Structure 1
Amino acid sequence: MAWCDKTSFDSIQDQTGLAEKEVIKIMRSNLKRSSFKVWRERVYGRKAKHEKK
């Protein structure tokens, strides 16, 4: 779910109970270093990172 650009961290937390920091930790441990860096750059700048409150 975290790899998809359209899925927000809020949606991930609602469905799995994992907070943003926990998702980042999981992604870091399961991706190659270069893939993680690419993912973080994508996540950092996207609008769908969090749902509007």
Structure 2
Amino acid sequence: MSVITEKKNHATPGKAMLASVTGYAMDGFDLLILGFMLPAISIELGLTSSAAGSL
């Protein structure tokens, strides 16, 4: 006798949505950090406001 077992697919729409929301949040995180660090970066590199704004 042979037993046929099915391999279950554990991918669900909820997991896909969670992964996409996490990726979207991580994508915006670098811009958030840049906003907090821009004053320190511009002082360290001696950038003008115009040059710092182009970053």
* CA radius of gyration, larger in: 2
Given the two structures, how large is their TM-score scaled by the length of structure 2?
0.28
Q: Which has the higher relative contact order, 1 or 2, with Cα contacts under 8 A spaced 6 or more apart? A: 1
